A and B are shown apart, each in its own frame.
Chain A
Amino acid sequence: MTDIAPEGAAFAVAEDSTRRRLTMALAAPLGAVIFSVVAATLMLFIAGSDPFAAYADMFEHASKPETIVSMFNRATPLYISGVAAAIGFKMNLFNIGVEGQYRMAAIFAAYVGGAIALPGFLHIAVIIVVAMLVGAAWSGLAGLLYTHRGVNEVIGTIMLNGVALGLIAWLVRTWQAEGEIPVVGVGTEPIESSGILPNLTWFPELFTDLRGNNELTGVLLIAIVVGVFYHVLLNRTIFGFELQASGANPFAARAGGVPPRRMALTAMLLSGGIAGLVGIAEIMDKGRYNPNFVGGLGFNGIGIALLGRNHPAGIAVGALLWAFLEASSDILQITAAAPKEIIDIMRGVILLTVVIGYEVVHRIRRRDEAARAAARLVEVDA
């Protein structure tokens, strides 16, 4: 893995990544996690809980094979959501609307999926395509407002989140499966089994016997494809180059032939298209969209992209860490070794600390480079 070094700015440095670069790159996220543990420990002491008992419960729970599988299941949509946010960040666009985009995408995809019957692969493909198109359409609205009306994309996407929630509340009733009373748990017409992506049950079974306790979601494969696509698009295509250039300096990019408006709109569409996939895992699991469809994945994705420095591998680590914390929150509720809210505190502390950490590392690295470049000047002149 030569490419793990997450570079804050555009264009990750790959080829000359030395041990020093790697250390610098990992310093901030590791430091943030350690700091959050220290902070959590202190707070638990103050609150009168035994932090070490809580940590013991968390790790014991997380080391169980079925928990590991469930962590991957949780991490899968979080990862996709992180990548969706990261595409925007690379273009210097804050797509806060992943939340609304994936939920709109999910209800449309579930509705269409429930309304049609096609042979296996096609049925799944239609659901996925609908999800991506709806996600892209919803983010594209914010994109158009931004490029053609100058509406700041943060404002645009936040407002559209609100609009999405309202629309969905109405659509859920309108598209309520026939013959069912609208209650939590029921929703759109259930999707035929041909439209459900099979779980990867066989994979964990290679290592352990779960006895059917927990199944690995097939959407993990989609997440992997998304990660590879994101990496290749960004680092190997002209489009990716232009996207990053435009994000790094829109004026220089424009003088270099990169049209800023078209880039912004394309980045928004891509971001929303990927966001559309966030809800697929839940649809495949439940087979429909219902009123208590999972929320918050979009907002968490923003944090995870930040933590992973918009790097495909970094986002994966971030998503798994988030999944671990969520699983820990569950177990703390059961064992009551500590209030589960401590997990939210840890997440917040990690995010705040990592932002500061990245900035510090960034400055050290720049100073280091400037010093080396200056040394080079003296060397040549002498």
Chain B
Amino acid sequence: MALAIELKGITKRFPGVVANDDVNLAVEQGEIHAICGENGAGKSTLMKILYGMQAADEGTMSVNGTEVKFTSPADAIAAGIGMVHQHFMLAGNLSVLENVILGAEPTVGGGIIDRADAKRHLTEVGAAYGLEIDPDEFVEELEVGERQRVEIIKVLYRGAKILILDEPTAVLVPQEVDELFRNMRELKADGATILFIDHKLEEVLEIADTITVLRQGRTVASVKPADVSTGDLAELMVGSELPTPETTESTVTDDVALSITGLTVRDADDRAVVDDVSLRIRRGEVVGIAGVEGNGQTELVEAIIGTGRPETGSIELMGNDISQQSVRHRRSNGIGYIPQDRHEEGLLLESPLWANAALGHQMKPPYAQGIWFNRQGAQSTTEHIRERFDVRTPDIHVAALALSGGNQQKLIVGREMTAEPDVLIASHPTRGIDVGAQAAVWDHIRGARAEGMATLLISADLDELIGLSDTILVMYKGRLVAELDPASITPRDLGSYMTGAEV
């Protein structure tokens, strides 16, 4: 029988990065096929190509033995491929039935929806694949696991035989994961083919028939779960060779700049997303946090910056407890912040560069004079940032929106560095920017470190982590599970800790 999906030589380039580089993938009919890889390994891009959301630059794609070229998800749906996104695309104020038929409504003619037919079809699909759900319930009243089931039914309702699940377990609690896996096995028994993305290795080993590992945009291996251990998989994911740290002299001093003790943050569901975390960063030190995204890094950063509220724990900046202080006080007392998403938290996109340069430092000179905002000061400082950090722009009055990502990032790094913080919280400081800008950002962090700045570096980029950090801490499920020395780190250890595998 022909392969359900066959990809040969798929390559996709974005400006400055190759997201997929000669990717090959063979998915058998009726199997559960897992795609593993770190953040940025190219999994999402590959899935988008498969689902017709993006076109590959090179390579061929076959579905059930026929070569296909998708220009939109509609083509993929027509070919029997359906996708369940990680973030559900459901309308809470509509019923399950309405959500399922949305965009594929059966009609009795004249634009009138044939509800009876829709319901019959929905029940058939549900029964055929063992997915029970009340079609009249409102989606907003469903649990997360049930919503996911609605997404799966939605895809099946459209006749999909090949399902792509994008990190389906990321949003689920363990019992729901068990339920999902039961559903997946039933789907498989009924002849469906499932392709799913995951980086929790025990889960992958439990459910998958075949596992393909991606690393830095390439397929590095396709293995059977019986033949590998979680340790082997972890090593495949992070690579057998890690970058060696740049041999810069240690500038670590004995003065503790930031000290966190017993920090716990709970989410709305009362889960400890940061669980009893303690760490110290000394002046002149870079502490790197490694970990797969979604293991509490974001919440840790929020707690330090002051935008999130920890349940317990203390945070001391240069010996002063700041855990009850406002964001404003923390920032003006010497915490610099490079946010992980520059568009969301870093910039005022529609505002001129000088306003962006002042943001977060507006309460202090050179941006302020008493209660007055000092425009001249702000503008000359922005000119200074523009020169020193090589922000390429026609002038400092254009909107931040007009700049390329790398130049936006240089502006953010410039504004934080210029304020000479005692502690810099750098969250993915070079994400999505080109190599040249990346090197420049690294140099600036190294320079400030030599002058005594303490840095907390959160990154998914192992080159960056190993190249910049004096110490690497691994975060998994909200806890710091290991402290590693970047000079002697092994891929197996790093990968194992990051994916929660036993060492």
Q: Please judge, given known A-B contacts A239-B371, A373-B393, whether A256 and B360 are in contact too, CB under 8 Å.
A: yes
Which segment of A168-176, A205-213, A241-249, A294-302 sits at the interface?
A241-249
Answer yes or no: B265 CB below 8 A from chain A CBs: no
Chain B residues, CB < 8 A from A356: none
Measured between beta carbons, the chain A residues less than 8 angstroms from B355 are 10-11, 241, 244-245
B358 proximity list for chain A (CB < 8 A): 241
A238 close to B371 (CB less than 8 A): yes
Please, which residues of chain B bring their CB within 8 A of the CB of A254?
307, 327, 345
Q: How far is the CA of A245 from the CA of B367 in the complex (A)?
A: 14
A360 smallest CB distance to B (angstroms)? 16
The answer to whether residues A252 and B373 also contact, given A9-B399, A370-B401, A372-B398 and a CB cut-off of 8 A, is no
* A1-38 vs B, Cβ < 8 Å mask (1 yes, 0 no): 00000001111010110000000000000000000000
Contact of A366 among B330, B344, B392, B399 (CB under 8 A): B399
Minimum distance in angstroms from B357 CB to a CB of chain A: 11
Question: Could you say which residues of chain A place their CB within 8 Å of the CB of B402?
Answer: 366, 369-370, 372-373
For chain A, give the interface size range: 35 or more
At the interface, yes or no: A333 with Cβ under 8 Å from chain B? no
How long is the Cα–Cα vector from A239 to B373 in the complex, in angstroms? 8
| Bound-state Cα–Cα, A259 to B328, Å | 8
What 0/1 pattern do residues 370 to 381 of B give for CB contact below 8 A with A?
A: 011101000100
Q: Is A255 an interface residue (CB 8 A)?
A: yes
Is A46 interfacial (CB-CB < 8 Å)? no
Which of A242, A366, A372 sits near B401, CB closer than 8 Å? A366
Whether a CB of chain A sits under 8 angstroms from the CB of B178 is no
Instruction: Tell whether B115 is near chain A: CB-to-CB under 8 Å.
Output: no
Q: Find out whether the CB atom of A238 lies under 8 angstroms from the CB atom of B348.
A: no
Asked whether B351 is an interface residue with its Cβ less than 8 Å from the other chain, the reply is yes
Contact B360 A257 (CB under 8 A): yes
CA distance A372 to B392 in the complex (A): 10
Chain A residues with Cβ below 8 Å from B371 are 237-239
Chain A residue nearest in CB terms to B354? A11
> What is the minimal beta-carbon distance from B333 to any residue of chain A, in angstroms?
10
The verdict on A375 contacting chain B, using a C-beta distance below 8 Å, is yes
Pick from B345, B372, B403: contact of A237, CB below 8 A: B372
Interface members, chain B 359-388 (any A CB < 8 Å): 359-363, 367-368, 371-373, 375, 379
How far apart are the CA atoms of A236 and B373 in the complex, in Å? 5
Contact of A377 with B by CB under 8 A: yes
CA distance A15 to B361 in the complex (A): 22
* Contact present for B363 and A252 (CB under 8 Å): no
Q: Is the beta-carbon distance between B359 and A256 smaller than 8 angstroms?
A: yes
Cross-chain contact A255 with B398 (CB below 8 angstroms): no
Is B157's beta carbon under 8 Å from chain A? no
Contact among A237, A255, A374 with B373 in the assembled complex (CB-CB below 8 Å):
A237
CB distance from B268 to the nearest CB of A (A): 15
Question: A248, A252, A377: which contacts B344 (Cβ < 8 A)?
Answer: A252
**Residue in contact with A255 in the complex, picked from B326, B339, B394, B397, CB distance below 8 Å:** B339
Asked whether A253 is an interface residue with its Cβ less than 8 Å from the other chain, the reply is yes
**Once bound together, how far apart are the Cα atoms of A376 and B404, in whole Å?**
11
* A257 and B350 contacting across the interface, CB-CB below 8 Å: no
Using an 8 Å CB-CB cutoff, how does the interface string of A348-382 with B read, 1 for contact, 0 for none?
00000000000000000010011011111100100
Cross-chain contact A251 with B373 (CB below 8 angstroms): no
Whether B348 pairs with A373 at a CB distance below 8 angstroms is no
List residues 396-437 of chain B with CB under 8 A from any CB of chain A.
397-399, 401-404, 407
Q: Say how far B361's CB is from chain A's closest CB, in angstroms.
A: 8
Establish whether residues B348 and A372, one from each chain, have CB atoms under 8 Å apart when the complex forms.
no
Residues of A near B7 (CB, < 8 A) are none
Point out the residues of chain A lying under 8 angstroms from B372, CB to CB: 236-238
- If A238-B363, A252-B347 touch, does A377 touch B379 (CB 8 Å cutoff)? no
Q: List 26 A-B contacts (CB under 8 A).
A: A11-B351, A13-B352, A235-B373, A235-B375, A238-B367, A238-B368, A238-B372, A238-B373, A239-B371, A244-B351, A248-B348, A253-B348, A254-B345, A255-B305, A255-B337, A256-B360, A257-B327, A259-B326, A366-B399, A369-B401, A372-B398, A372-B402, A373-B393, A373-B407, A376-B393, A380-B392
Given A8-B350, A252-B346, 7 extra CB contacts under 8 A: A11-B352, A237-B372, A244-B351, A253-B359, A257-B331, A257-B360, A375-B394
In order of increasing CB-CB distance, the 10 nearest A-B pairs are A257-B328, A256-B360, A9-B350, A369-B402, A248-B348, A372-B394, A373-B402, A256-B359, A369-B398, A257-B331
Chain B interface (Cβ < 8 Å from any Cβ of A): 305, 307, 326-332, 337, 339, 344-352, 355, 358-363, 367-368, 371-373, 375, 379, 392-395, 397-399, 401-404, 407
